[in-house]
Amino acid sequence: MQEADSGVSSPTISHRNTASLIRHAGPHFAAAHLDGLMALYVNPSHGRAVTLPISESRSQPLVDFVRCSYLGLDNHPSIVEGAIEAVRRYGTLHWSCARTRLNFAALGDLEDALSDLFAARVITYTTVLAANMSALPLIASGVLTGGKKPVMVFDRYAHATLAFNKPVVAEECEVRTIGHNDVHALEDICRQNETVAYVCDGVYSMGGCAPIQELRDLQERYGLFLYIDDAHGISLFGERGEGFARSQMPEGLGERTIIAASLGKGFGASGGMLMLGTSFQEEIFRRFALAHAFSASINVAAIGAALASQAIHRMPELGVRQKALAEYISLFDELVPTAQAGSRLPIRTIVVGDELAAIGAARVVLDAGYYTSAIFFPTVAKGRAGLRICPTAGHTTAEVRGVSAAINRALKG
């Protein structure tokens, strides 16, 4: 989510203006809904296809390019069977109690397996949203940085579920927002402050990524604390699917890096997780993280699915899927020019500019049988509306060619 205004902010500047957001985005949401582009309710079909009910007796087949199941794992038979078997074995879907109290033994098994897989201390959450809102206040408190409260610096494109927490952490420490990937501004802040924590996405949901190596350099030189939401990078990179951020840190996370990631998206199950570097961090999170103490765990189906997915992450199949994804992305790049062309990242955005023109283009593509996301403020900046498309390893060559042709036709029209 991008902010309406840019530049450095201080705790005294308001981070939110919901009424203004609704006023600005309302007409475009209305247009997109009218055009049948928003909130589709569909049934699964084969592969990446779905069927959209039109009437009692008719439905429209669509190939979906909206979902972020980058490796095509969300309908993997082992993962589906893992979910079913776990619910059957446990005879329940969910226990309502805080994780500080009672947990399914299988959840312990899952967190052990994920910790081994990613060489980190992994704690699961119901969503990445819950992981982020749990982690950021603990970082702000200074308890993870030797008792010294950090200056918390947010990338201005940091995901909405990160940016939401700015006023919360601003009650405990100084908060600043810097330009997207502005490493120089970040270094200036590191020079001027003893303790600094940086909050960013690994892979950005609207394209692009964090400069992990440069951030690690700042960490080495200034002790910078890093909190990286790698929801869109998990599973896609690394021999074991460690993800975009973790796979660039072969030496381990250490005391000053925490990575959030999804158990959905590339991973193919359901939920979120945090990768921590130390046992001290783990103890703090298992006692005091808001969602750990005052909300629920992932349900048994999600536990079973994630256990199956982590097993796939240890097999050659993972590499085969990573390679297939890379090939489909390359094919798409050959056919449709975007700012992200040539990148290994899976998200492509086509800028149209005008909001209504972007919505119209998405409708033309939908009529051709392909569902893509019409993106506009607040998802992207005003006047930078367009289409977002997520090729996956589960698509076919014909589907990637088909959606590319439909997009090119829509852009000409």
**Among 49, 120, 245, 291, interactor with a second copy by CB under 8 A:** 291
381 binds a second copy (CB under 8 A): no
**Measured from the CB of residue 17, what is the shortest distance to a second copy in angstroms?**
7
Q: Tell me how far apart the alpha carbons of residues 71 and 320 are, in angstroms, rounded to a whole number.
A: 9
Asked if omega into 378 is within 30° of 0 (cis), the reply is: yes
96 binds a second copy (CB under 8 A): yes
Q: Tell me how far apart the alpha carbons of residues 252 and 271 are, in angstroms, rounded to a whole number.
A: 24
Q: Tell me how far apart the alpha carbons of residues 175 and 143 are, in angstroms, rounded to a whole number.
A: 17
**Among 8, 35, 36, 42, interactor with a second copy by CB under 8 A:** 42
Question: Are 80 and 295 contacting, i.e. CB atoms less than 8 angstroms apart?
Answer: no
158 binds a second copy (CB under 8 A): no
Among the residue ranges 60-68, 181-189, 345-353, 393-401, the one whose residues contact a second copy (CB under 8 A): 60-68
x/- map, 185-214, a second copy, by CB under 8 A: ------------------------------
**Measured from the CB of residue 399, what is the shortest distance to a second copy in angstroms?**
16
57 binds a second copy (CB under 8 A): no
Task: With H, G, I as helix, E, B as strand and everything else as coil, classify residue 203.
Answer: strand
**Measured from the CB of residue 51, what is the shortest distance to a second copy in angstroms?**
9
Q: Tell me how far apart the alpha carbons of residues 122 and 153 are, in angstroms, rounded to a whole number.
A: 24
**Measured from the CB of residue 7, what is the shortest distance to a second copy in angstroms?**
17
Residue 257: exposure state from Cβ atoms within 10 A (0-12, 13-18, ≥19): buried
Compare residues 67 and 382 and give the one whose CB is closer to a second copy: 67
235 binds a second copy (CB under 8 A): no
10 binds a second copy (CB under 8 A): no
**Among 119, 284, 331, 364, interactor with a second copy by CB under 8 A:** 284
**Measured from the CB of residue 191, what is the shortest distance to a second copy in angstroms?**
25
311 binds a second copy (CB under 8 A): no
Task: Return the axis-axis angle of helices 316-335 and 397-412, rounded to nearest 10°.
Answer: 30
302 binds a second copy (CB under 8 A): yes
Q: Tell me how far apart the alpha carbons of residues 197 and 186 are, in angstroms, rounded to a whole number.
A: 10
The stretches of 290-335 forming alpha helices (DSSP H) are 290-294, 300-312, 316-335
**Measured from the CB of residue 109, what is the shortest distance to a second copy in angstroms?**
9
Among the residue ranges 207-215, 245-253, 345-353, 371-379, the one whose residues contact a second copy (CB under 8 A): 371-379
Q: Tell me how far apart the alpha carbons of residues 389 and 213 are, in angstroms, rounded to a whole number.
A: 27
Contacts of 14 (CB under 8 A, 6+ apart): none
**Among 31, 49, 104, 385, interactor with a second copy by CB under 8 A:** 104
**Among 9, 90, 204, 274, interactor with a second copy by CB under 8 A:** 90
b/e per residue 123-145 (b: at least 16 CB within 10 A): bbbbbbbbbbbbbbbbbbbbbbb
279 binds a second copy (CB under 8 A): no
**Measured from the CB of residue 30, what is the shortest distance to a second copy in angstroms?**
9
170 binds a second copy (CB under 8 A): yes
**Measured from the CB of residue 166, what is the shortest distance to a second copy in angstroms?**
8
Two structure tokens written together for 203: 């892979």
Q: Tell me how far apart the alpha carbons of residues 318 and 118 are, in angstroms, rounded to a whole number.
A: 14
Residue 222: exposure state from Cβ atoms within 10 A (0-12, 13-18, ≥19): middle
Residue 159: exposure state from Cβ atoms within 10 A (0-12, 13-18, ≥19): buried
Compare residues 74 and 242 and give the one whose CB is closer to a second copy: 74
Among the residue ranges 190-198, 244-252, 282-290, 312-320, the one whose residues contact a second copy (CB under 8 A): 282-290
Q: In the window 129-148, what residues touch a second copy (CB under 8 A)?
A: 129-130, 133, 137-138, 140-143, 147
Q: Tell me how far apart the alpha carbons of residues 349 and 390 are, in angstroms, rounded to a whole number.
A: 9
95 binds a second copy (CB under 8 A): yes
**Measured from the CB of residue 225, what is the shortest distance to a second copy in angstroms?**
15
8-state DSSP, 288? H
Among the residue ranges 25-33, 176-184, 214-222, 311-319, the one whose residues contact a second copy (CB under 8 A): 25-33
